[in-house]
Amino acid sequence: MTPTRTSHKGGTHPTREGEAPPKEFFAARRPAAGNHAVAIVLGPVRVELHGLDDARARLLLDRYAPYATPASDESQGLRVRVGLEDREYYLDPPAGPEFTAVFVTHDPPSAVRYLSYKVAGWLDVATLRGELLLARGTWEPDLRSFENYVRVAVAWLAAARGGALVHAASAVWNDRAYLFYGQSGAGKSTLAAANRRGRIVSDDLSLVLPRDGALDLVGSPFRGTYEGGEPVVGSFPLAAGFRLVQAEEAEVRPVPRVRGFAELVGNLPFVAEAYHRDPALLESVERAFARVPLAHLHFRPDDSYWDAIARAGL
């Protein structure tokens, strides 16, 4: 089992610290909130949340527009049953500044268990079934609780297809897509805000999926803090990926392929920590990015980085 921790701040939950609840925890069937269902459709990836009340369904349809639609009982993607859990929280909310606590436990080959403040859940990318149990506490809004689970689900559905959800800014320029990644503070939001020529898809999480032996960037609602322009819908061929380096002048610098790929892997949340237990996952993403140039992009806080990318022939 591989627990994944994201900016965790203490707490108590149904199992030991740092691990999602065991399979037995989900054996009892909890009541649903209602009979509504919402599908979130990101290209070929589809996550359906069933058992919602009217208010929560409307909340999700508003949040995920234009990627969301009401769903029928005939599931066409990952079908997630939403149940109500009679407890305040799974993790005690922090007393200080807000943190995001997400624990992901991988049960090879295809199952994932999940834990956050208000949600415990699981999903299986082979059977395309899952469950989300929502506690009644109010410290974390329902919408954020749902979104954290959906992000994990999308990451694993993408991995199962040979793609990835990348902690990266992304943009489309001249009908070609680009990833810009790096650790927090590397400049993803700065680069997105400085853009004047391309269409920004996200400054936080970017979805890439294989198609015909290549990779596409797929529009998604995970835009981070970026609020400029309309949400980008559709798929665009991925031309290159860049690790960001803040500098005085804009320049693309080649790096050895092994280094470039290692830097990319460090920006694959929710899945990367499972690679050592399931090497096939790592091999899959390595094959997917085999034809995608990976380099360093030195940039300053204006959109001259597009000129650097053009000079590099990318």
Domain boundary among 142, 160, 178: 160
Q: Which residue segment(s) compose the domain that 252 sits in?
A: 164-311
Low-confidence ranges of the chain (pLDDT < 50): 1-13, 15-16
Whether residues 246 and 295 share a domain: the answer is yes
Domain boundary among 160, 179, 213: 160
- For the segment 199-241, what is each residue's pLDDT rounded down to a tens digit? 999 999 999 999 988 999 999 999 999 998 899 999 999 999 9
Number of continuous H segments (helices) and E segments (strands) in the chain:
6, 17
pTM for the model stands at 0.93
The DSSP bridge pattern shows strands 129-134 and 119-124 to be: antiparallel
Whether residues 171 and 127 share a domain: the answer is no
Whether residues 252 and 132 share a domain: the answer is no
Whether residues 18 and 134 share a domain: the answer is yes
pLDDT for the residue 72 = 85
Whether residues 221 and 307 share a domain: the answer is yes
CB atoms within 10 A of CB 160: 19
Whether residues 171 and 152 share a domain: the answer is no
Domain boundary among 160, 188, 221: 160
H/E segment holding residue 281: helix 279-288
The count of residues in the chain is 314
For residue 284, give Cα distances in angstroms to 64, 106, 272, 302.
Answer: 29, 17, 12, 35
Tokens of residue 9, six digits: 């701040």
What is the Cα 37 distance to its own chain's centre? Answer: 21
Domain count for the chain, please give it. Answer: 2
Angle at 55 between CA 53 and CA 61, to 5 degrees: 100
pLDDT for the residue 3 = 39
| CB-based contact 94:144 (threshold 8 Å) | no
Whether residues 57 and 99 share a domain: the answer is yes
Whether residues 96 and 148 share a domain: the answer is yes
Whether residues 153 and 209 share a domain: the answer is no
**Look-up: residue for tokens 């300053």?**
300
Whether residues 10 and 156 share a domain: the answer is yes
Strand partners, 169: 180
pLDDT for the residue 10 = 31
Q: Could you tell me which of 107, 112, 109 has the C-alpha nearest to residue 130? A: 112
Q: Please report the beta strands in the chain, taking only residues with DSSP state E, as ranges in sequence order.
A: 2-5, 36-42, 45-52, 68-70, 78-84, 102-107, 111-116, 119-124, 129-134, 164-173, 176-181, 199-202, 205-211, 214-218, 235-246, 251-254, 294-299
- Read off the CATH number of the domain in which 306 is found: 3.40.50
Residue 209: phi and psi, rounded to 5, are: -135, 145
Whether residues 95 and 213 share a domain: the answer is no
pLDDT for the residue 36 = 96
Whether residues 126 and 89 share a domain: the answer is yes
